[in-house]
Structure 1
Amino acid sequence: MPGQVKPPLREVLEKITKEQEYDSYVVREKDGDGSNIMSSLSHVTLHAKGKTDMKLFAKSAAWSAKIRVTNPVNCPYSVELYFYETLWKQYEKLEDTFSVPKEHRFRKPKLFGCGYEYLNETLVLEDMVAEGYKEYDRQTSVDYEYMSTGIMLMAQFHALSLAYSKYNPEAFKRASEYLTMDESKLEKWIASVAPKMLSTAISCAEEHRDTLKNYFHPSKKFNRLFMDYFRKGNDNVLIHGDFKPSNILHRRRNGKLELVVVDFQLVHDANAVVDLMFFIFTATDESFRRAHFHELLHLYYEKLRASLLRLHIDPDQVYPEKTYRARLEEFSMLGLAIGVGLLPVVLMDKDKMPDFHENAGIDDFAVEGSPLFKERFNGILNNYVEWGLL
């Protein structure tokens, strides 16, 4: 009911209701599955006599002032607002300018309204679930169709960034500066959480425990490797930053799998392969990677080239294959760092999620490993040993 909604969200919803020519709205809190720790989520229904109900989705800030002070990334709500209000408008212009076919355009929810009040930032978006999309079980490994379709979307997203940097370099520079992580805060944060992250990983390792310990000796080697996930890139690419199954909704229409990407709170300037490695190592298990890992690396660049050509850009000028291959070699161990530092959060049990509304700090991102994490992490170790990298 409107009376039970907090004032910042209520103000945004009242404005949207009037703009869309509806009479009232009802808000229902989304059931949590542990996949989101940054926002409070709600389903919204607009009502009007004689009109079909309109379904929306609201995101309200959940992070306390305490965690924002030490947070090494830009405020996730400010980032997502910037993405929708500034960056995406430029991306859409590029797609329109070059008449990119609908089936090759990057799909995301439409923004209907937002609020900027500090600690109460709000976005109200198209409700993709009402459009027939479903959330993916974050604890289940994806299949090849899902992975390959997701990589196609990722390539489209990165291509838009490369096109923006080529056609409007000054505007891209401003976006890059706004969306660049604070490295001094990053270094302090990683230094504080790395010991617990490494300890958890080592305790969960089985057959290759000694190999893992030796690889990360001295321990600061992990700090440097984990920094690569957040560090500013050199290739004019703004990555999604959290490209994982729980941020990719899916539906099947006319026999075809359709995916839509959500949650742009961690968009930042980094190397393209960071998104690729994060998606592969959070969405798949050992056997899947054994069968498809190198094929997926080839597929990404193939899709990136196709996306750039649709934007009238020569891939060999903005992101040649030799650069891509060099980045893959440079970041070859990033999957291991993701396994140690980020996979425990992705796979943590629902009831173990930290509550970032009140007293949690940035150190609470270093969580204990769940039984599923243990299984998946040992799979990563097995893959790296088989590939001759560990």
Structure 2
Amino acid sequence: MSRQVKASQRDLFKKITEEQEYDDYLVTERDADGSSIMSSLSFLTLRAKGKKDMKLFAKSAAWSERTRLSNGSFCPYSVELYFYETLWKKYEKLEEMCSVPQEHRFRKPKLYGSSFEYLDETLVIEDLVAKGYEDSDRQKSADFEYMSTGIALIAQFHALSLAYSQYAPDAFKKTSEYLTMNESKLEMWLASVSPKMLANAFSSAEKHREKLENYFETPKRFHQILMGYYYYRRRNSNVLVHGDFKPSNLMHRRRNGKLELAVVDFQLVHDANAVVDLMYFIYTATDESFRRVHYRELLDLYYEQLKASLFRLRVDPEQVYPENTYRSHVAECAMLGLAIGVGLLPMVLVDKDEIPAFNEDADMDDIAVAGNALFRERFNGILNNYVEWGLL
């Protein structure tokens, strides 16, 4: 269905239409499916007589001013705009300079235009559906082909920031500082929301509830571990993480029999430890039985893919992110998967009709939704894994 277009968006859409040499455009709203709680999503079709329609995709700000003020980190729209308008241009130059083969370049939609109007921030990118991509099913456990392809993407993304830090250290430092979350605000938000997240988790736990309650004896312990997801910095790590690498932020297609994935959301890119993206992807995309067989294999695969990506960028992995450093980070982040299961998995798997709307009446604490039946199944699977591995 069509939707009302705000003035700043109308100007942006008109500008893009003229730049692409089309006559007019049509905006149709995309049905909410849980892929984004931060943006209003819509399709933009450029039209002209005698020309094939051009399919684009618009992401517009959804958070009210009140929601932004209560957010414990930073404005997601300014982050994504910065990523597309500034950081990605640096990454593209790196790939070009190093002649990285196309099949090994990081896949994301092309940017066609943007607006920085406060409360109406908008990005217009290519519509990957028109390129043959499909949305991933965020409630379906992934198979090994999907996970290995996704991990290769994570490794490519991290390698670009590591290479950028080597080729342009001063510029990278400024970028890293811009994309660093406010730790004190984040601490305050997590302290506020932790009790609700823990209560949801305790009520969902089955045979290992007592172990879970004993481990998270106080909410403070939980939110300190969850800080690892948002703010797990290590001096000289020089990694910018995606911050929200999960199936609903990936699209897939198959070409010549090979699975291809593309990333469609960069609203939480920030300076952190590389392992947080890896853990988040594994624990939001897979179930208990998959992890029992493939968890350690995926950890090994990530570093192999990272090394390959760095070599293509003409950077020595042992100089920028040695394997022993990576292994120590994995050990230090051992409990991060459990914290992700407690605090973030309920929202990742939320049923479509239970997705909170971040309008004027919303609060950031609304992100702590009660888990559905699928969450309870997946979460108890995480508990089973942790008990089997002797970590809980």
2:109 aligned with 1:106: no
Describe the SS at the equivalent of 2:371: coil
- Which residue number corresponds to residue 131 of structure 1? 131
- Aligned 8 A contact 2:111 2:124 in 1: yes
Q: Tell me the CA shift for residue 105 of structure 1.
A: 0.4
Q: Paired residue for 1:335?
A: 337
What root-mean-square deviation, in Å, do the aligned CA atoms of Structure 1 and Structure 2 show? Answer: 1.1
Paired AA for residue 61 in structure 2: A
Q: Distance in 2 between matches of 1:359 and 1:230?
A: 25
Partners of 1:185 and 1:96 lie apart in 2 by 38
Which residue is equivalent to 2:54? 54
Query: Match for residue 169 of structure 1?
Result: 169
Deviates more, 1:32-41 or 1:266-275: 32-41
Q: Which runs of 5+ in 2 are unaligned?
A: none
**Distance in 2 between residues matched to 1:16 and 1:232, nearest whole Å:** 39
**Runs of at least 4 residues off by over 4 Å:** none
Q: CA deviation at 1:341?
A: 0.6
* CA shift in 2, pair 1:98/1:344, >3 Å: same
Pick from 301, 309, 312 the counterpart of residue 311 of structure 2: 309
Alignment partner, residue 195 of structure 1: 195
Aligned residue identity for 1:325: R
Identity %: 70
Aligned residue identity for 2:157: F
Secondary structure class of the residue paired with 1:73: coil
Please give the alpha-carbon distance, in whole angstroms, between the structure 2 residues aligned to 1:334 and 1:199.
18
What's the TM-score once normalised by structure 2's chain length? 0.98
Residue 362 in structure 1 maps to residue 368 in structure 2: no
1:137 to partner: Cα distance: 1.0
Task: Deviation per CA, 1:34-59: give whole Å up to 9, x if none.
Answer: 22111000011101111111100000
Aligned pairs (5 A) from 1:123-272:
123-234=123-234, 235-272=237-274
Q: Secondary structure at the match of 1:348?
A: coil
Q: Does 1:289 align with 2:282?
A: no
* Structure 1 unmatched ranges of 5 or more: none
Query: Are 1:28 and 2:28 an aligned pair?
Result: yes
Contact 1:180–1:232 (Cα < 8 Å) also in 2: no
Determine helix, strand or coil for the equivalent of 2:134.
Answer: coil
Q: 1:367 to 1:4 in 2, by over 3 A?
A: closer
Q: CA deviation at 1:2?
A: 9.0
| TM-score, normalisation: structure 1 | 0.98
Residue of structure 2 equivalent to 1:321: 323
Alpha-carbon distance in 2 for matches of 1:148, 1:361: 36
Using a 3 Å threshold, how does the CA distance of structure 1 residues 385 and 42 change in structure 2: closer, same or farther?
A: same
Task: Check conservation: 2:151, 2:278, Cα contact below 8 A.
Answer: yes
- In the alignment, the residues of structure 2 paired with residue 74 and residue 129 of structure 1 have an alpha-carbon distance, to the nearest angstrom, of 30
Mapped to 1, the partners of 2:37 and 2:102 lie a distance apart of 32
Output the CA distance in 1 between the equivalents of 2:163 and 2:40: 34
SS at structure 1 position matched to 2:57: strand
Report if the CA contact (8 A) 1:70-1:185 is conserved: no
Query: How far apart in 2 are the matches of 1:337 and 1:310?
Result: 34
Measure the CA separation in 1 of the matches of 2:8 and 2:292: 48
